[in-house]
Amino acid sequence: MRREIKRALHLTALNNLRGLCGEAVVAVNHAHAPFSGYKVGAAILTANGKVYCGANVEFTPTTAVHAEVVALVKMLYDNPKAKAVAIALSTREGKYPPCGECRQALFQANPKMLTVGCNHNGAVKIVKTLKEIYPHAHAWRRIVPRTSRFK
Q: Give me the active site residues, please.
A: 68
Tell me if 102 contacts Zn ion by CB under 5 A: yes
Instruction: Count the alpha carbons within 13 Å of 96 in the hemisphere toward its beta carbon.
Output: 18
Tell me if 103 contacts Zn ion by CB under 5 A: no
Smallest distance, Zn ion to C-beta of residue 139, A: 20
Taking CB under 5 A as the criterion, the residue among 35, 95, 99, 141 binding Zn ion is 99
Count of positions (residues) in the chain? 151
> Taking Cα atoms as reference points, which of 100, 106, 111, 101 lies closest to residue 87?
106
Quick check: 53 and 27 in contact, CB under 8 A? yes
Smallest distance, Zn ion to C-beta of residue 67, A: 8
Task: Tell me whether residue 18 or residue 30 sits nearer to Zn ion (CB atom).
Answer: 30
Kindly give the pairing relationship between strand 51-55 and strand 57-60: unpaired
Which among 11-19, 40-48, 61-69, 73-81 is the span making contact with Zn ion, rule CB under 5 A?
A: 61-69
Instruction: Count the alpha carbons within 13 Å of 52 in the hemisphere toward its beta carbon.
Output: 23
Report how many residues bind Zn ion under the rule CB under 5 A: 3
Give the footprint of Zn ion on this chain (CB under 5 A): 66, 99, 102
